[in-house]
Amino acid sequence: MQLRLEPRAMPSKWLRYSSPLIALALTLVFGVILFSALGQNPAVALYTFFIRPIGTLYGLSELCIKAAPLLLCAVGLAIGFRGNVWNIGAEGQLTMGAICGGGLALAFYGDEGPWLLPLMIVGGGLGGMAWGAIPAFLKTRFNANEILTSLMLTYVAIQVLGYLVHGPWRDPEGFNFPETRLFGEDALLPVLIEGTRFHFGVVLAVLAAMIGWVFVTRTFAGFQIKVVGQAMAAANYAGYSGNRVVWTGFLIGGGLAGLAGLGEVAGPMGQLNPTISPGYGFAAIIVAFLGRLHPAGVLLASLLMALMYLGGESLQMNLNLPLAITGVFQGTLLFFVLASDVFIRFRVKLVHNVPRTAP
């Protein structure tokens, strides 16, 4: 006797779209069990994790500025993932964008004008693109696995950043701390809501999601990516180039991740230091799948993921729970998304007397 998965003839369309919600509900159930096991009142803990962080205007704005880099990275990744371009290195592209954009702020320090910020935005995007171009080139020229190359390049980018902030770019008046000067006023993204840190980068991220939406649903290039992702043989037959999709996926993904990095250093941080991102580039992979690889879904998923970051901090501050809870929740959520997808597309069947298939 054994269990076997059988494809369903007609997976419910409604369930397919609601599977992230089912996964979220299951994650909450898991949370109740987890907090009970940790000796906490689950209601209080869940309130502290999910509601308390966004109870104020300041909390809401924090949610938005945490969601912005996730959204930027995830929109770019989702476009690539639709075409089976497995860019796992958004974290590295984000770091490289921060280095290039932030480098411009340092280069023109004391010699700036209103032109500097736009230049930095372009520089950040190009930096991320350049870093994404390396795995794209290796994939199209040598058929090197992009999962490995893009992931490994992440660590290279982080080392480059470490070298710069410990060495040549270290703040001369910074008491030897491994960080750069604070950027000048013209090199910072303007704060849009008084009394919060809600900055222009959030608007950029929402704009990117909207353009991404148009790109995937309305343009021929977006259509080609989808065909390559769903049926490579059909793409070859119709005359779509798989290599072009690899390049498109990496350049868009890298560019948006680079923008996310720039948004961090020219936004809340205002300088470069060795840890720019708490893993936004990796969490964005979860966000992309949670959002069904669709820019609108990704927008909602990035808010949820941002809430988890804030919730983890809130638990740490108010209930003395470890920050690692955030990672546990993120992983659990992804697990339940993938699991509910499987059960929506397949059903489990109990098989007696397994027949040998070979005649």
Residue 6 CB, nearest distance to another protein (Å)?
A: 8
Residue 298 CB, nearest distance to another protein (Å)?
A: 20
Residue 231 CB, nearest distance to another protein (Å)?
A: 5
Answer for which of 118, 172, 195, 218 binds another protein (CB under 8 A) is: 218
Dig out the tokens for 338 from the structure: 């993938």
Q: Is 145 in the site for another protein (CB under 8 A)?
A: no
One-letter amino acid at 160 equals V
Q: Is 221 in the site for another protein (CB under 8 A)?
A: yes
Residue 233 CB, nearest distance to another protein (Å)?
A: 4
Dig out the tokens for 322 from the structure: 């470890």
* Rg of the chain in Å (alpha carbons): 22
Nearest to another protein of 37, 358 (CB atom): 358
Q: Is 4 in the site for another protein (CB under 8 A)?
A: no
The conformational region for residue 279 under phi > 0 = left, psi -120 to 50 = alpha, else beta, is: left
Residue 243 CB, nearest distance to another protein (Å)?
A: 11
Q: Is 250 in the site for another protein (CB under 8 A)?
A: no
Stretch that binds another protein, among 4-12, 16-24, 30-38, 291-299 (CB under 8 A): 4-12
Half-sphere exposure for 254 (CA within 13 Å, toward CB): 29
Q: Is 40 in the site for another protein (CB under 8 A)?
A: no
Answer for which of 5, 33, 207, 234 binds another protein (CB under 8 A) is: 234
Q: Is 348 in the site for another protein (CB under 8 A)?
A: no
Q: Is 167 in the site for another protein (CB under 8 A)?
A: no
Q: Is 231 in the site for another protein (CB under 8 A)?
A: yes
Q: What is the DSSP letter of 115?
A: T
Nearest to another protein of 176, 357 (CB atom): 357
Q: Is 237 in the site for another protein (CB under 8 A)?
A: yes
- Cα 305 to Cα 71: distance, rounded to the nearest angstrom: 10
Q: What is the DSSP letter of 40?
A: S
Half-sphere exposure for 182 (CA within 13 Å, toward CB): 4
Answer for which of 39, 143, 220, 350 binds another protein (CB under 8 A) is: 220
CA distances from 169 to 166, 265, 268, 290, 355 (A): 7, 14, 19, 38, 68
Site string for another protein, 5-34 (x = CB under 8 A): ---xxx------------------------
Helical pair 242-264 and 220-230, crossing angle rounded to 10 deg: 110
Q: How many residues at the interface with another protein, by CB under 8 A?
A: 27
Residue 208 CB, nearest distance to another protein (Å)?
A: 18
Q: Which residues contact 174 (CB under 8 A, 6 or more apart)?
A: 180, 181
Residue 11 CB, nearest distance to another protein (Å)?
A: 11
Half-sphere exposure for 313 (CA within 13 Å, toward CB): 12
Q: How many CB atoms lie within 10 A of CB 285?
A: 20
Q: Is 223 in the site for another protein (CB under 8 A)?
A: yes
Half-sphere exposure for 54 (CA within 13 Å, toward CB): 19
Q: How many CB atoms lie within 10 A of CB 264?
A: 28
Q: Which residues contact another protein (rule: CB under 8 A)?
A: 8-10, 218-221, 223, 226-227, 230-231, 233-234, 236-241, 353-359
